[in-house]
Amino acid sequence: MKKIAILLTALLVLLSFGACGQQAADTPNGGESVDKTDPSAYTVAMIVKQSDPWFDDMTLGIEQLKEDTGINAYVITPESGDPALQIAAMEDLISQGVDAICIVPNDPQALIPTIKKAQEAGIVVVTHEAPGIADVVDLDVEAFVNEDFGALMGEAVGEAAGGEGLYAGFVGGLTMDTHMAWYNAAVKTISEKYPNMKNVSDEPYEDGNSIEGAYDKTVELLKAYPDLKAIFDCSAHGSGIAQAIKDKGRTDIKVISLAIPSMSATYIKDGSMVHGQAWRPADAGYATCYAAYLMASGQGVKTGTDLKAPGYENVKVDGKIAYGYAPLVFSKDNIDDFNF
């Protein structure tokens, strides 16, 4: 009996140590449980496309998110739009073991192997402007349904040109999913509602996501198609188009563009750009990184979730895409109301 009692006592001691060990793991710091939703416990890195005013504004939004919530959120800005630089940045973040990586891809398809590598390492990956690879990532956050945004641009092209004549469309690059979605939706809208307008090309022209690229391509277009009535740009560099048209003394060509007020206000005010549209980069960055925190902390994002940024207070989730409703349209009358 003594042996049995000794064995039972030893067993109880071992179980007690195990329970204490488990309690120490679950309730450190004097027995207080770990709050797995504590924002300050999470690191979220956003990789943007490149350095320009658009992503400078997005950086402001992410800095505001950190201030508002305590999430350790920060931005990595590649030196150029080369997709290889975004891949290298992701590899570095994987080695650091961050909780979540957000990215606005230059070439979404090129990122897929690295995205999968990050996920295998337990890192949440959330994209913005990349609905084409939504099935690969944990979540894609969009400011609106891209086809609706493109249709809005197409309507503006048709109205500005009076429903007649030749037009051309630009994107930053053919690999940029959202630019292509807007372009295709705009062209579809023009063809359906303004049948007397004709696109001069079977595919969009590329401006390389730069003002200089947009300027140079416009000069080429004016030589090839002097009867152009309108040019639209799905990149935020329509100011390059407007400047080229001004330099050539053309006041008859209408420019419609994704626009940043700080870059396009002068052209919108003088009428050389008749329509600008966008969404607030700061708000998109804020919402995307907050969504990444919700995913990493296990809270998730579903229809009705508030991502804490204007236009994203009540997102609609379809598959792995969370849609806000945050389009902005700029005109002479309201362009001074915006400071980004």
- For every residue of 147-206, DSSP letters joined together read HHHHHHHHHHHHHHTTT-EEEEEEES-TT-HHHHHHHHHHHHHHHHH-TTEEES-SSPEE
Among residues 278, 306, 335, the one where a domain terminates is 278
Q: Is 318 a domain residue?
A: yes
User: How high is the pLDDT of residue 191?
Assistant: 98
Domain shared by 106 and 51, yes or no? yes
Alpha-carbon distance of 249 to 266, in angstroms, equals 17
DSSP state of 204: P
- The encoded tokens of residue 274 equal 């008749």
Is residue 33 scored above 80 in pLDDT? no
Taking the alpha carbons of 119, 52, 106, 68 in that order, is the dihedral positive or negative? positive
Using a pLDDT cut of 70, give the percent of the chain over it: 90
User: How high is the pLDDT of residue 339?
Assistant: 81
Using the structure block, give the residue that is written with the tokens 């449980």.
Answer: 33
Output the DSSP codes for 314-332: T-EEETTEEE----EEE-T
User: How high is the pLDDT of residue 37?
Assistant: 83
> Predicted confidence band at 270 (pLDDT cuts at 50, 70, 90)?
very high
Q: Residue 246: what are its φ and ψ, rounded to 5°? A: -65, -45
Is residue 2 scored above 90 in pLDDT? no
> Predicted confidence band at 313 (pLDDT cuts at 50, 70, 90)?
very high
- The encoded tokens of residue 223 equal 């030589």
DSSP state of 41: G
Kindly give, in sequence order, each residue whose CB lies less than 8 Å from that of residue 98, ignoring residues fewer than 6 positions away: 43, 44, 45, 123
Single pTM value for the model: 0.80
Domain containing 64: what range? 39-143+281-326
Is residue 281 scored above 60 in pLDDT? yes
User: How high is the pLDDT of residue 53?
Assistant: 86
Domain shared by 153 and 259, yes or no? yes
For 116-172, the pLDDT digits (tens) are 999 999 999 999 999 999 999 999 999 999 999 999 999 999 999 999 999 999 999
Kindly give, in sequence order, each residue whose CB lies less than 8 Å from that of residue 186, ignoring residues fewer than 6 positions away: 150, 151, 153, 154, 157, 169, 232, 234
Using a pLDDT cut of 90, give the percent of the chain over it: 85
Mean pLDDT score across all residues of the chain: 91
Q: Is 79 a domain residue?
A: yes
User: How high is the pLDDT of residue 183?
Assistant: 98
User: How high is the pLDDT of residue 201?
Assistant: 97
Domain shared by 198 and 316, yes or no? no
- The encoded tokens of residue 278 equal 């966008």
Q: Is 46 a domain residue?
A: yes
> Predicted confidence band at 19 (pLDDT cuts at 50, 70, 90)?
very low
User: How high is the pLDDT of residue 18?
Assistant: 40
For 59-101, the pLDDT digits (tens) are 999 999 999 999 999 999 999 999 999 999 999 999 999 999 9
User: How high is the pLDDT of residue 329?
Assistant: 96
User: How high is the pLDDT of residue 27?
Assistant: 35
Domain shared by 172 and 287, yes or no? no
Residue 58's CB is within 10 A of a number of other CB atoms, namely 27
Domain shared by 289 and 244, yes or no? no
Q: Is 23 a domain residue?
A: no
Domain shared by 180 and 131, yes or no? no
Of residues 224 and 5, more confidently modeled = 224
Domain shared by 87 and 99, yes or no? yes
Q: Is 160 a domain residue?
A: yes
> Predicted confidence band at 51 (pLDDT cuts at 50, 70, 90)?
very high
Domain shared by 158 and 260, yes or no? yes
User: How high is the pLDDT of residue 105?
Assistant: 96
CATH number for 113: 3.40.50.2300
Alpha-carbon distance of 136 to 288, in angstroms, equals 16
> Predicted confidence band at 29 (pLDDT cuts at 50, 70, 90)?
very low
Look at the chain and report how many structural domains it folds into. 2
> Predicted confidence band at 34 (pLDDT cuts at 50, 70, 90)?
low
Domain shared by 197 and 151, yes or no? yes
For 204-253, the pLDDT digits (tens) are 999 999 999 999 999 999 999 999 999 999 998 999 999 999 999 999 99
Residue 224's CB is within 10 A of a number of other CB atoms, namely 11
